[in-house]
Amino acid sequence: MKKVIVFGAMMLIVAGAYAQGEAVSNFFSKYQSDDTFSQVTISSKMFGLFTNMEMEDKEDQEVLDAISKLKGLKVLAKDQTRDARGLYDEANKMLPKGQYEELMYVRDKEKDMRFFISEKGGKISELVMIAGGSDDFMLLSIFGEIDLKQISKIGSKMDVDGLKDLERLKDNKKGNKN
C-alpha cells in the first residue's frame, strides 16, 4: 500500500491535460465510500503547485515541465481481499470499447495488468491501468496529455509494478519482442 501512496506522490512529476472518462469516474464513485479501499486523488491544482519548482537535473526538469498540463490522477486499491479477481473483471468490463484502446496486457503468476488509453486528436488524454491478482486489486487513472515515456521512467525509478512495463512499448514499436 505504501507503494501506491508513494507512487501517487511521484506522479506529481509526470504528464498531461483533458477530462477523465465517465466510465472510470463511475467506477470510482461506486466504491468511494467503501473504507476497505485505499484511495488517492490528485487535482490539477496540486500538479500546478509543482510547476514553479526549479530542478538542477535536466531529466527531472523535463518531467516537471510535463506535469503542467496534467488534470488529475486517481488510484483505487484494495489489498488482501477475496474479491480481487471479481473487481478486476468488473473494471475491465466497465471501459467502453470504442472509447478506450488496449495498449498492453501483462500477465505473470501473481497478477494480470491491462493498460488502456483514450486518444483524441492524436494525443493520449487518459491512461488507465487495471491490475488484479489473487488478493489485491488496483485501478489507476491519469488524465491529461499523457507522455508514456515519462510515466515509464517514474515507474522504473519507483519500482512500481506495471508502469515500468510501459518501457516494453518502445521496443514493440521497433518490431522487437520481449
DSSP letter string over 24-68? HHHHHHHHTT-TTSEEEEEEHHHHHHHTT---SSHHHHHHHHHGG
> What pLDDT, on a 0 to 100 scale, did the predictor assign at position 166?
65
pLDDT in tens, 126-152: 999 999 998 999 999 988 887 777 666
> What pLDDT, on a 0 to 100 scale, did the predictor assign at position 54?
72
> What pLDDT, on a 0 to 100 scale, did the predictor assign at position 115?
92
pLDDT in tens, 20-54: 468 888 999 999 899 999 999 888 888 777 767 77
Residue 85 pLDDT > 90: yes
Phi, psi of 50 (to 5 degrees): -85, -15
More confident residue, 52 or 122: 122
Cα–Cα distance measured from residue 152 to residue 131, given in angstroms and rounded to the nearest whole number: 16
pLDDT in tens, 164-177: 566 665 555 444 44
> What pLDDT, on a 0 to 100 scale, did the predictor assign at position 42?
85
